[in-house]
Amino acid sequence: MSRRTVRTRLAVGAGRAAGLASRLTGRGQGATISGRVMNLISPDLLAELAADQQVVLVSATNGKTTTTRLLAAALEAAGSEEAGRLVVSNSTGANLTSWIAPTLASASGTGTAVLEVDERVLPRVVDPLGAELLVLGNLSRDQLDRYGEVHAVGDKWRAVAEAHPDLAIVANASDPHVVWAAGPAKVTWVALGLRWRQDAATCPSCGALLDWSADRFDCRACGFAQPDAVHRLTDDGLIVDGRTVALDLALPGEWNRYNAALAIVAASTHFGIPPEVAAAAMAAVRSVAGRFMRIPLGDGRDATVILAKNPAGWTEALRHVADHADAGVVIAVNAHIADGKDPSWLWDVPYEWLAGHPSAAAGERRLDVAVRLRYAEVEHVVEPDPIVAARALASDDVNIIASYTQFSALYRKHR
């Protein structure tokens, strides 16, 4: 185990004290202030804390929290058979440097750190953390007032790949932005066949319109195209090195099969964990940091809570609900900084799929939601509290799809 400098030890102690004070005074959970104090006192903190770890960084617009949790579960399962293998992870959605620092500081010895990282932060931490593997899921629009255009994020990721051509990356071969970003490095491609293509109309290499077929993309102008992938997701499961591994996940939704596919390939190709062992460990994960938690409604029914943060995520969540006949759904939306202050994205989401489903508009921006549902010809009730709204729906299968701050409030109250 490497020795930490006196400055780093002081930083960790001060950060933990600040976090404890935050919790005791009711100001917060303490993670953010803890990490900020640590990083402020010791600028080289991340590099020192990561020195004893095999660092894996997971990033994407959608699904990075779940992919991180699933990969950590696979490593933990394999570690139970290997004495001394420790896994630390921030698989709770805390993905900025202020949250990464306390996670690394919690490591009790040499092991593996599986860290979720915000898309914008990823290029800044690859070198300080000495990352040996990146797992890259997807890139789509996400709060343009905070993140900027998708192409800009992809270009920053590509700069990392160009600077580190030997860096191992497990990446989604079905997303043009990710293919462009990861291409210069040492990539293991996984074909996921993602259905969200609205943010990938143009070639990230030359700007021409992409041609899309049922299962791939090509640019006739410059030759940029979907790479061949040995590993690919099918209706029957994940094909890994020529054999099919079943994905019997407890987590609902097609999007979680995408997350699991990336995590299984990362566990198999980089850590040598048999795909079946990884898949079995992931099948035991039932909730991830409150995602898909069940909340009692007080009338004998439970509601399933689903987090959705952008048009791609909302579309997948609605697809999941719409596939279940008579499922009820509460659309709970705020417009704080963490949600994105501009709710115009509501018009990019196919709420028409909810026609015939018991529905409700909730949250601080419930009237914006109500207008959108009215134009989608979806009958609905309007109620600010998502739990009260859920009770009003005549369905035994009730879902609350919530924006970030609505989701966080439900998680804090009901976990």
Q: What is the mean pLDDT of each run of 10 residues along the chain (415 residues)?
A: 74 81 74 78 86 94 94 87 70 74 84 93 95 96 64 94 98 97 98 88 95 93 96 95 93 93 97 95 92 93 94 92 93 91 91 96 97 97 97 96 93 85
Predicted pLDDT at 22: 77
Q: Which of 232, 258, 283 is the last residue of a domain?
A: 283
Answer yes or no: is 288 within a domain: no
- Judge if 183 and 319 occupy the same domain: no
Answer yes or no: is 289 within a domain: no
Residue 341 sits in a domain of what CATH number?
3.90.190.20
Domain count along the chain: 3
- Judge if 101 and 172 occupy the same domain: yes
- Judge if 34 and 70 occupy the same domain: no
The whole-angstrom separation of Cα 217 and Cα 204 is 12
| pTM greater than the 0.85 cutoff | yes
- Answer whether 182's CB lies under 8 Å from 161's CB: yes
Helices (H), 323-403: 366-375, 386-391
Predicted pLDDT at 83: 45
- Judge if 15 and 87 occupy the same domain: no
Q: To the nearest 10°, the Cα dihedral for 334, 372, 194, 112?
A: 10
- Judge if 256 and 332 occupy the same domain: no
- Judge if 192 and 60 occupy the same domain: yes
- Judge if 161 and 14 occupy the same domain: no
- Judge if 335 and 300 occupy the same domain: yes
Answer yes or no: is 229 within a domain: yes
CA–CA distances in Å: residue 231 to residues 136, 192, 309: 15, 9, 28
Answer yes or no: is 405 within a domain: yes
- Answer whether 224's CB lies under 8 Å from 243's CB: no
Answer yes or no: is 18 within a domain: yes
Residue 152 sits in a domain of what CATH number?
3.40.1190.10
Predicted pLDDT at 220: 96
- Judge if 55 and 34 occupy the same domain: no
Q: Which of 255, 283, 311 is the last residue of a domain?
A: 283
The whole-angstrom separation of Cα 196 and Cα 198 is 6
Predicted pLDDT at 86: 86
Answer yes or no: is 13 within a domain: yes
Answer yes or no: is 147 within a domain: yes
Predicted pLDDT at 42: 78
Answer yes or no: is 127 within a domain: yes
- Judge if 60 and 78 occupy the same domain: yes
Helices (H), 238-305: 254-271, 275-283
- Judge if 181 and 266 occupy the same domain: yes
Range of 227's domain? 44-283
- Judge if 269 and 386 occupy the same domain: no
